[in-house]
Amino acid sequence: MFNKFASASLLTLGLSRVSAFAPPAVSYRSARSVLPASQRANIVVNNMSTEGSIDVSSYMGGAAPEGTEDYISKFQYCQFGSGAQLLCANYARAESRRHSSAGFLIVVVIFLRIPTVQQTMIRVKDPKESLDFYCNVLGFKLVHFSEFPQWSFNVYFVAPPGHTSTRGDKTWERCMTTPGCLELTWNYGSEKEEGKVYNTGNADSTGTSDGDKVRGGFGHIGITVPNVYKACERFHSLGVEFHKSPNAGGMKGLAFIKDPDGYLVEVLPQGEMVAEPVDCLGVAAEGGEGYKDNSK
């Protein structure tokens, strides 16, 4: 039963292919066009023009890296225009495959007018390394970025390319109507510091005055993939650091990898969690230690 904060409506769609769900590529519009006039002069949009600028053009368009086309962030919704704001593309893909012989698909979706998670923000040491990881390894696309040289920081919003909002004609509008973005915040100069800069929240001593590890609250972000073992084979070939390979530990069939700053990224299957005999690091499915609390 819906509570007083939710209302429902039904949408019926006839589709010949699930590819109809994919929104067009997001084109770049500068932050100048979406901020008040008093702030526009402070936004740097010409890449490589100042110390706080990097060339991000390669992260904003083009096809997803091979093997990442179906990666989904766990807090992600697929958002469309005014007629269908919270349509689940995962369900549509699954049902399309199941009923492909019919030549069309009827989808009935119930929409709830409830808040959605638009972004999670993490601070990063080197924006180029982080964008390489999230865009070239995980297959995300840069949806929007803004540079604030007057405050010595930039922000970069990334999201899975097949789940970007098509609302509005400016990247800021599309970003703010795309749930599940990851905001990468770079404070100028951090890339020049030695070693790790930010505490990841998982038994990490970074930034502590006494060098002792702290019991942090932040745990991880997560993605889902069609096959965890195949995805991890690719991650391993790209030199990604593993915190837990698919067969390590007591829980089989899921993995944890690290981004350039050491933040954990959980890798889960989009279907049933099934263990394979040996994973990318040669760990057998049989045996293994039990659950480990990463905060300690």
Q: What per-residue string of b and e applies to 174-206 under the rule 16 or more CB within 10 Å gives b?
A: bbbbbbbbbbbbbbbebeeeeeebbbbbbebeb
Same domain, 41 and 183: yes
Report yes or no: 208 and 214 within 8 Å, Cβ to Cβ: yes
Is 95 a catalytic site residue? no
Same domain, 182 and 224: no
DSSP code of residue 284: B
Is 158 part of any domain?
yes
Same domain, 39 and 158: yes
Same domain, 68 and 182: yes
Same domain, 31 and 157: yes
Is 109 part of any domain?
no
Same domain, 138 and 181: yes
Report yes or no: 213 and 203 within 8 Å, Cβ to Cβ: yes
How confident is the model over 148-194, as pLDDT tens digits?
999 999 999 999 887 677 777 788 988 998 888 999 999 999 999 99
Is 215 part of any domain?
no
Is 62 part of any domain?
yes
Is 181 part of any domain?
yes
Residue with tokens 């067009």: 24
Rounded-to-integer distance, Cα 115 and Cα 42, Å:
31
Q: What is the CATH number of the domain that holds 236?
A: 3.30.720.110
- Alpha helices by DSSP H, listed for the chain, are 37-40, 89-98, 127-131, 171-176, 228-237
Annotated binding residue at 119?
yes
Annotated binding residue at 220?
yes
Same domain, 144 and 34: yes
Q: Which residue is catalytic, options 241, 266, 272, 286? A: 266
Is 203 part of any domain?
no
Per-residue confidence (pLDDT) for residue 290, from 0 to 100: 66
Same domain, 183 and 38: yes
Per DSSP, what are the bridge partners of residue 109? 11
Displacement of CA 119 from its chain's centroid (Å): 9
Rounded-to-integer distance, Cα 11 and Cα 105, Å:
12
Region of residue 222 (phi > 0: left; psi between -120 and 50: alpha; otherwise: beta): beta
Is 42 part of any domain?
yes
Is 107 part of any domain?
no
pTM (2 d.p.) = 0.69
Structural domains in the chain (count): 2
**Which 3 state secondary structure label does DSSP give 272?**
coil
Same domain, 224 and 77: no
Per-residue confidence (pLDDT) for residue 74, from 0 to 100: 62
Residue span of the structural domain in which 249 resides: 220-269
Per-residue confidence (pLDDT) for residue 114, from 0 to 100: 62
Annotated binding residue at 266?
yes
Amino acid letter, residue 102? A
The low-confidence residues of the chain, meaning pLDDT below 50, are 1-50, 76-112
